[in-house]
Amino acid sequence: MSDNTHDDDPNPEAEAQALRDEIATGWKLATGPALEEIRRLVRKSELSQRKVEERVGFSKGYLSQLLARNLDLKLWHVLAILDALGLDLGEFFHRVYPATRFPALERFQRTSKPLSPELEEALSKLYKYGVESLDELRSRVGRCEQAVAKLEEMGYFDGRRRSRRTEGS
Amino acid sequence: MSQLQQCRRLLERAEELRFEDPREALRMAESARDQVAALDREEIGVGNWFALQADAWGVFGSALRSVSDLGDSEGALNVAIAFLMAPEVGDQGDPLAYAHLAQRAAYLRCDQGRYAEALELIDEAISIYCSEGAGQAAAGALADRGLILGRAGRKEEAIVHLGEALEQLDPDKNPRNFLAAVHNTALYMHELADNSPRVNNLALKWLKLAYRCHTLLPPESLSVLKLRTLRGLTAVRLGRVEQGIDELWQAQEGFQRLGAAYEQSLTLLHLASIYQNLGRADEVKRVAGLLFPVFQSLKIDREASVALMLFYNAAQAESATLDLIDRVSSTLREAQVRSLRRGDSR
């Protein structure tokens, strides 16, 4: 049996890159501290929300939708808003994602498996959805699982590549 | 007593109980976790509330680890980290709380056999304790570093670390860490003791010291029973065979009463080896029979069960060998590690 997922896809590299970009920008910015910081900067600015929208080229009300999380905040949104506010991108990211203080603990988080359904249930029961860092933990798991499934489907994991090579040899 | 004090007391009790009765500790930690979640955020202050949630999930995570549910232990510790690193806490979090969590995570990675990550975590904890001037906590973490190295097979290095930790640990302020460090030194010395009479003698001294240190613990506690196994093996090594055998039987009965099936199996296998060496085939046969129900309760995988079956059949035919018994022991140990890695032995 041959695995032709790869062959049917005209440009899997580009699609995988787009997916990686989406993981790196879309979900992280939409749920993480970046949105909070953008909210703070817009509030603090002398410009009205409408003025910012005009400068960026957003339609009327688009910025409110972004700040209210009705739309996903993407990296290009952040770039455009910071540009309109005349603020420095490097400073923004330094503030939002400061250099890590506890590298081993953070690596522990990154190398951990998703929460089990039992723990998910306990979290929902105990805290509902009022704690932002937990919401992020939940959504990260969900979105990462989807992304991983898609990358697997596209043959972007070593295990799949190895098995394809074995089948071909 | 206020609700807040009650929660703190419950968390402390769950943490203490982990060493004596892991299942009861888990039940208590779960109850503490639920009560802490119900505390009023505004009443106790947002920072305190988040810190307490992190603490409760940390204790719960460690309790899960104690009953070998490594998968959910990892999840619970991640929830604790999420609380501790929440934007609501900002830079106001207590550095010692991060160190405690890193220490808990290090133990978990050690149980999962991921020793490099465990060492990285424990080093982070040690560095925070040192920079915060928490000398006793740093010494306790240094002893943990010794334990991780020992479990990774680096026993000589482990003994050096444990020695350093024991120099700094105050037994009055830190009795549990002190006991653990003495216990682990005795264990690693015993394992290295085959090499020379001098090391043998030293191992014996450490074992005696460990026993003296444990006199205050209940005689049926897991650590006292493990020491009892060690004492039995040492007695056999020193030629006091019957005394050693008697110690090992008593240890295995204690493990059985505590429901510590893995430790009980290992002790029975030690007995099988000793009887085999003495040519007492009837006793080997009896021990092989006793091992069956214990293995069953461990829900051990096929490879270990096959090894036990081979040994059992050979014992019945009075043709068992030391190699065969060693094979059962090593497959049991490997099966236990696999089971811990999967985190499915709850």
Is any Cβ of chain B less than 8 angstroms from the Cβ of A121? no
Does the pLDDT of residue A166 top 60, yes or no? no
Closest partner residue to A133 (CB to CB) among B37, B74, B86 is: B86
- Written in H, E and C, the secondary structure of chain B is CCHHHHHHHHHHHHHHHCCCCHHHHHHHHHHHHHHHHCCCHHHHCHHHHHHHHHHHHHHHHHHHHHCCCHHHHHHHHHHHHHHHCCCCCHHHCCHHHHHHHHHHHHHHHHHCCCHHHHHHHHHHHHHHHHHCCCHHHHHHHHHHHHHHHHHCCCHHHHHHHHHHHHHHCCCCCCHHHHHHHHHHHHHHHHHHHHHCHHHHHHHHHHHHHHHHHHHHCCCCCHHHHHHHHHHHHHHHHCCCHHHHHHHHHHHHHHHHHHCCHHHHHHHHHHHHHHHHHHCCHHHHHHHHHHHHHHHHHHCCCHHHHHHHHHHHHHHHCCCCCHHHHHHHHHHHHHHHHHHHHHCCCC
- Amino acid A163: pLDDT: 35
Q: Determine whether the interchain pair A133/B33 forms a contact, defined as Cβ–Cβ distance below 8 Å.
A: no
Nearest-CA distance from B56 to chain A in Å? 13
Whether the per-residue pLDDT at A160 is higher than 50: the answer is no
Q: Considering only CB atoms, which chain B residues are within 8 Å of A38?
A: none
- Whether chain A has a CB inside 8 Å of the CB on B253: the answer is no
B11–chain A nearest CA distance, Å: 17
- Whether the CB of B344 is below 8 Å from some CB of chain A: the reply is no
pLDDT in tens, A100-118: 678 899 889 888 988 888 9
Measured in angstroms, the CA of A113 and the nearest CA of chain B are apart by: 7
Cβ of residue B21 closer than 8 Å to a chain A Cβ: no
Check B82 against A136: CB less than 8 A apart: yes
Share of chain A above pLDDT 70, in %: 53
Closest CB to A119 among B37, B76, B101: B76
Question: What is the pTM for the complete model shown?
Answer: 0.67
Count of pairs with CB atoms under 8 A, one residue in A, one in B? 78
For range A12-30, the mean pLDDT: 50
Do B121 and A103 make contact, defined as CB atoms within 8 angstroms? no
A117–chain B Cβ distance below 8 A for any pair: no
Q: Tell me whether B116 touches chain A (CB under 8 Å).
A: no
Query: Quick check: A88 contacting B, CB < 8 Å?
Result: no
For chain B, say whether A76 makes contact (Cβ under 8 Å): no
Among B72, B121, B123, select the one facing A118 at the smallest CB separation: B72
Q: Do B82 and A108 touch (CB under 8 A)?
A: no
Residue A92: which H helix or E strand, with range?
helix A89-96
Instruction: Express each pLDDT in A46-83 by its tens digit.
Output: 999 999 999 999 999 999 988 888 887 777 788 889 88
Q: Which range scores top for mean pLDDT: A94-98, A153-157, B250-254? A: B250-254
Q: Residues of B with CB below 8 A from A105's CB? A: 81, 98, 101-102, 105, 121, 124
Q: Is B94 on the interface with A (CB under 8 A)?
A: no
| Cα–Cα distance for residue pair A141/A144, rounded to 1 Å | 5
Looking at this predicted complex, what is its ipTM? Answer: 0.78
Asked if the Cβ–Cβ distance from A102 to B124 is below 8 Å, we say: yes
Contact with chain B for residue A103, Cβ under 8 A: yes
* Tens-digit pLDDT string for chain B (346 aa): 688 888 999 999 999 888 778 889 999 999 999 999 989 888 888 888 999 999 999 999 999 998 878 889 999 999 999 898 887 777 778 899 999 999 999 999 998 889 999 999 999 999 999 889 999 999 999 999 999 999 999 999 999 899 889 888 888 888 788 888 888 988 888 888 876 777 777 888 888 888 887 776 667 778 889 889 999 998 898 888 999 999 999 999 998 888 888 889 999 999 999 999 999 999 999 999 999 888 877 767 777 788 888 888 898 888 889 999 998 888 888 877 676 655 543 3
| CB pair distance less than 8 Å for A105 and B124 | yes
For residue B185, give how far its alpha carbon lies from the nearest alpha carbon of chain A (Å). 27
| Structure confidence at residue B76 (pLDDT) | 96
